[in-house]
Structure 1
Amino acid sequence: MREHVIVSSTTDSEPTARELAAQAVEARLGACAQIVGPILSVYRWNGEVQADPEWRLEIKTAADRVAPLVELLKAQHNYEVPEIIATPIEGGSSEFLEWLVNETRAG
């Protein structure tokens, strides 16, 4: 995995997404997070196709913080099977990426 990662998830409300984002940043498991929504998610659950509004949470982090961030999201999430996906960041502003790593370290 690359050195810098975006961990994304979805949830059913903006307040829940805000809480998950705040917990991740407070714990220094993510440098920052963006919340996008509402979006419409279409998926199959319990054998039926569903369509529901959701809010997407995107957390920028260092690769070595992904595993504990995933554990935090799984523990705090309100879904039975939450979407949690890690996508490597291929490049970008070196200053931002340095800040990202620094913010995921103990102060």
Structure 2
Amino acid sequence: MGEPREAAAGPSPDTTVRLVYVTVATREVGEKLARTLVEERLAACVNVVEGITSFYWWEGEVQREGEVLLLVKTQAACLDRLVARVRELSGYEVPATSALAVVGGNPDYLRWVVEETTPREG
């Protein structure tokens, strides 16, 4: 038998980091939302990607709209508050917000995401 392992300090970044996909109508809305999420430590980083085209059903018809994509890096503990802020600030009646579990990556980066989305004391 091997030596006992030390207990991990908190959840592993490999199991807690999330990539959240959000769409908004304009760059202005996207930048405001991105800054808010980062300032409130609900996100460590948000990429604002212009130039996407979305096709979707809305009110019984297929819609085609230009949108801006936000790729939000966060941790699972922030998801409920993050989704609430997106609902509040996106300008959409039903904002597209989907969280994907990050199952691997640069461990230093994953730790950074968790550190930057952990509330500060004081």
TM-score by length of 1: 0.95
Deviation at 1:84, TM superposition (A): 0.6
Of Structure 1 and Structure 2, the greater strand share is in 1
In structure 2, stretches of 5+ residues that fail to align are 1-14
* Structure 2 counterpart of 1:91, from 85, 89, 104: 104
Deviation at 1:44, TM superposition (A): 1.1
Superposition RMSD on alpha carbons, in Å?
A: 0.9
Q: Tell me, yes or no, if structure 1 residue 56 matches structure 2 residue 87.
A: no
Q: Tell me, yes or no, if structure 1 residue 15 matches structure 2 residue 28.
A: yes
In structure 1, stretches of 5+ residues that fail to align are none
Alpha-carbon separation, structure 1, partners of 2:116 and 2:92: 28
Deviation at 1:106, TM superposition (A): 2.6
Name the count of aligned residue pairs. 106
Alpha-carbon separation, structure 2, partners of 1:41 and 1:3: 29
Q: Which amino acid in 1 is paired with 2:66?
A: P
- SS state at 1:80 partner: coil
- SS state at 1:91 partner: coil
Q: Which has the larger radius of gyration?
A: 2
Match for residue 75 of structure 1? 88
Q: Which amino acid in 2 is paired with 1:78?
A: G
Q: Tell me, yes or no, if structure 1 residue 35 matches structure 2 residue 86.
A: no
Alpha-carbon separation, structure 2, partners of 1:38 and 1:55: 6
Q: Which amino acid in 2 is paired with 1:38?
A: G
Following superposition, which runs of at least 4 residues in structure 1 exceed 2 angstroms of deviation? none
Residue identity (%): 36
Deviation at 1:62, TM superposition (A): 1.0
